[in-house]
Amino acid sequence: MEIPSINLGRGKLPDALDMPSIPLKQPTAEMPIFPPIVIPPQNLEAPAGVELEEAPSEEEESDTTTQTVQPTLRVPVVKIDLPLPSAEVVATATYAAVAAVATTTLATPLFNKIKKQIQKFLQKKVDKWKQQRQQNLKDSLKN
């Protein structure tokens, strides 16, 4: 048994569409330049012929610094002094935060209970008002 076949020939495909290309520039960016940070070695000593200033002893230091100085944090790269809060301020803020959280935690269940009771009371009033209104509508339709 022979299988019938049809010769369709070689068809010609259409030419591809001419798509214009969009010229895109390669992105560029300026690289940031940071000033180098010089970190002195641990064994740094003064050169010969240079007199060193003597640091005040601990006893002299305690006598001269009776005034409290606010501590600061020096950021070396940006060269900014950030003021740090004193220990008293941090302690006060901590106590206030703990008190606020404790009060909120303890008061929330109480307020939720009161809120539910008020909602039930108001819902009863609204339901009663709706029933009265429907009754009035029925009575007005009968007349």
Q: What is the mean pLDDT of the chain?
A: 85
Helix ranges (H only) for 24-86 are: 58-64
More confident of the two residues 28 and 70: 28
Q: Give percent of the chain with pLDDT exceeding 70.
A: 90
pLDDT attached to residue 129: 95
The answer as to whether 95 is a domain residue is yes
What is the rounded radius of gyration, in angstroms, for the C-alpha atoms of the chain? 43
- How open is the CA angle 68-72-75, to the nearest 5 degrees? 165
Q: Assess if residue 21 is contained within a domain.
A: no
Contact present, 87 and 71 (Cβ < 8 Å): no
In a domain, 54, yes or no: no
Q: Is residue 126 part of a domain?
A: yes
How many other C-beta atoms are found inside a 10 Å radius of the C-beta of residue 86? 13
Angstrom distances, CA of residue 7 to CA of 1, 11, 84:
19, 11, 91
Domains contained in the chain, number: 1
Asked whether the predicted pLDDT for residue 65 surpasses 60, the reply is no
**What is the arithmetic mean of pLDDT over 1-15?**
81
Domain limits at 81? 72-142
Supply the pLDDT for residue 130: 95
Mean pLDDT of 73-80: 83
Residue 82 lies in a domain: yes
